[in-house]
Each structure stands twice: as structure tokens, then as C-alpha cells.
Amino acid sequence: MSLVAGLPNGPTRVTLGPAFSRESLLVAAPPVARRSVAAAALTVLVVLTLTSNGYGFDRDELYFAMLHPAWGYVDQPPLVPLLAHALGGAGPWLLRIPATLCAAGSVVVTALTARELGGDARAQAWTAWGYAGTSAVLTFGHVLLTSSADLLLWPLVSLLVIRAELRHRPALWLVAGAVAGAATYNKLLIGWLLAGLALGYLLVGPRDRLRSPWVIGGAALALLLAVPNLAYQIANGWPQLEMGQALADNNADFTRWFMWVFLVVILGPPLVVVWLAGLRELWQRPELRCFVVAFGLVVGLTFGAAAQPHYPAFLMPTLFAAGVVAMVDRLDRGWLWRGLFAANAAVSLVVSLPLLPVGVLARTPIPDMNIVAADSVAARVRRRSRGDLQLRRGRCDRALPARRRGLQRPELALRPGPPGRRRHDGRVRRRPVRVRRGSLRLLRDPRPARQRDRRRQRGAGGAGGDLPRSAGAVVAHLAAAAAPRLTT
């Protein structure tokens, strides 16, 4: 039997003889590096707060805020829409407070995970500061999305399971079950993590965990807390499964190749080596091998379901923490890794946060790299003396007044639009502009608002028409409008 002890010089693996059991010798976790961890979390809190209003609301935030309170929706559970409905009236800064807190909390949880794995103060500092500078924290923490809460909830469940295993505190399985049950009100995908852990225990052990009353009690508690969500799904014919299938039909080709790119960029290319080392470190600990299986299952389900490419990102903080613990001596040697971590944080800041003016953003590849930034700019309605800023893929049209916009979900960003013809009264008449998102073609309707309103009243539909009434039509409508979307 082997375990890792947190000694002053770093984590040390100790091999025990057969006379010793896991229960008879427990090694205390190293002290918490409070200053380093708190400083990293506070930095994230301050940076995200200062940039909260940049580029305005994201389009998904506007969608969440317009939903009326309910037990559930076609495309998600009720938590984030309820938060958006309650906080969206005062501007982006208030709406995004929960996302900011989740991002800062995820930094603390990830550093504590490194501590539980035997990481000393150095490992905890590397974990906290390295993870704080990733695109995962800065992107999902900048806007209020369902992924913002998952950024905290998945690592928290993982931390509780690791602590229950390494510190022989089985009661923490009940806490993990309660957190997982609460997480179903944000997104039902937490079930993938639980299924992965169960499969890991079944395949690579220790199998006796599946018979533990604490583990069974935690699973039962999670299921009990999730009953209202499951009841809503059953009563309405499982609309989220239908929504997932509609997304897969629209996104499959994109998701199945881009998910591999996303695994590289979400923490940053320099940190790929670290989280791969974390996979190896977890596999070397028999009681934690289930996390390697869980990660493989989540990756496989993401590829198979093909709905969205970012789902494995929520397990990567745990892998990153384990990798830092395994590599801390190498990270502390020289300036190479310090430079790589700093460069990764600098690039993540520029790409993930609204630091560039809109006019400068137009001439950069950032809108193609960060769809949150692109959608936030596209969702703004800015009235200017010379016309309105309208966004489309690769170009910006200063064309029709805001009341004449028929384009429902504008495209990415910025370039001068096509010239229009001058009418007899001196006004510039703009031509309709077609834009493409995946297989979806949208038409910006140049007609006056009253004409479009008459068409809506006649039930003709169109780009600005009423939403479909039936559940199946709503699912198809939302799936077509969302693709391809990385953050919901």
C-alpha cells in the first residue's frame, strides 16, 4: 500500500507494509497556504468585477433574464434563469456577481484539491495562481451562464470525494451527494460525473465503495434532491433530451473535432503537460483511479452526444491540481515555467475579458476565439448619430436603426458593410444582408417595424416572428438559434 505525505520539502510517497491498513495510518493534509490562495482568489474577484460591464450583456444572459420563473425550461433547469430574472435589472455588473463568485470559489477549491493530494504551500500557490489565469476561469466567470456554476460545482464534488477517500471521512459522501443534487438545478450534466465515478469504482476499484452505506446514502440524497427536476422532465416528455438531440443534429460535425481543440485551449496550451501529468498521478493512486475513468467517460459522452464541446472542462481543475502536485519540484526549478504560466495568464486576460475597445476588437481574431466576447458585442444596441452598430460574421454594418432590425442573433464581428443607395429624400437605403451561422441562414429585414409587426400578426413568422407554440417546435427553434454555442 502507498500514500502521499505532505512533508516540508513537498509531497512524498510512502510505501507501507502489509500489516498496515488505510484506516490504521492516516497522514494529515499539509497546512493551507492561506495567503497565496486568498490572494489569487481575490485577484480573480477584483479583475472580473472591474470588467463586468465591458461589452454589455451576453445574448444568453438576455435570454435567461426574459424567462419567467418556472420549475424548468425546454433547454435547462431553473437556477440560472431565476438568478438572471432577479438580478438582470440593474445592468451586467449585478447580474454577473454569481458568476464572479463561482470563478473565485473555483480557484479556492482547486487549490484545496492540491492540498488534499499532498501539495504543500508551493503546490497550492502554483495551483491557485496558475488556474486563476486560465481561460476557463476568466471566460466562464465573466458572464452568467450555466457553465459558470459548473466551474465551481464539479470541482467541489471532486474535492469532497477525494477528501472522503484520502482522509477516511466517509460522511463526506453525504455532503458530495447534497452538492451534486443541488447542481442538478443548474444543469443535469452533473450526472455524467457521478456515473463516471461509479463506473471507475466498478472497473478499477476499490469496488467495495459501491457497497458502502455512505456512498449509497450520498447517491440517494443526490437523487432525492434532483426529484423536482426529474419530475419536470418526465411530466413534459424529457424536453432536455430532445433539446440535446436537436443540438447534436446541428452541431455534431463541429463538436466532434473542436472538443479536442477545446481541451488544449481552455486551460491554455502551456498547461496541457500539467493536467496530463495529473491524469498519471491520479492513476497511480488506486483509490483515485475512478477520476481517470470519469474523465474518459465524460470525454466519450461529449463526443458521442455531440451537443457541445466544453463539457470535459469542468473536471480539468482536478486534473490540473493533481498535475501541479506531481510536478511542483520541476515547476519551482528556474524561470521557464514561471514565464509560461505568466504568458498563459496574459493571453487569457486579453482573449477572455473585454480589455480591448470595440473598434480594436474588430481587427483582431478574438471574436473568432471567444464567442462570449463576440456575442456580448453583438447583443448591444448602441444608437449613434451616424447610425447603429450592427454586427455580422467578419463585418460591422452601420445601417438600419435599432427598431428596424430583423436579425435575431447577429454574427461575430466587424468590417465595413456594403454601401447603400441614396433615396430621393437623401436617406441611405441599405440592402438586406444575409449572414450564415453553421447551416443557419438569417436575413436582416430592412422593412419598417410596422410592416414586420403586421406580418407577425398575420402569423407569417420570419426572422422576427413569434416563437413556435409546440414543445417540439420550440426545441428546434432554440437549437437552430444556438448553434454552435460553447458556453451554455
Cα–Cα distance measured from residue 333 to residue 155, given in angstroms and rounded to the nearest whole number: 28
Q: What is the pLDDT of residues 77-124, one digit of tens each?
A: 999 999 988 887 777 889 999 999 999 999 999 999 999 999 999 999
Residue 247's pLDDT is 83
Residue 67's pLDDT is 86
CA torsion through residues 183, 188, 191, 193, sign: negative
- Residue 146 near residue 486, CB atoms below 8 Å: no
Q: What confidence tier does 378 reach under pLDDT thresholds 50, 70, 90?
A: low
Which among 263, 265, 47, 269 has a CA at the least distance from the CA of 141?
47
Residues 6+ apart with CB under 8 A from 228: 71
Element (H, E) at 2: strand 2-7
Q: What is the pLDDT of residues 136-175, one digit of tens each?
A: 999 999 999 999 999 999 999 999 999 999 998 999 999 9
| pTM, full prediction | 0.75
Q: Which three cell numbers stand for residue 98?
A: 454569481
Cα–Cα distance measured from residue 338 to residue 328, given in angstroms and rounded to the nearest whole number: 12
Alpha helix stretches (DSSP H) within 335-466 = 336-352, 358-361, 366-369, 371-379, 449-457
Phi, psi of 467 (to 5 degrees): -70, 150
Q: What is the pLDDT of residues 319-368, one digit of tens each?
A: 999 999 999 999 988 899 999 999 999 999 998 888 888 777 777 777 77
* Residue ranges per structural domain of the chain: 27-352, 385-418+428-482
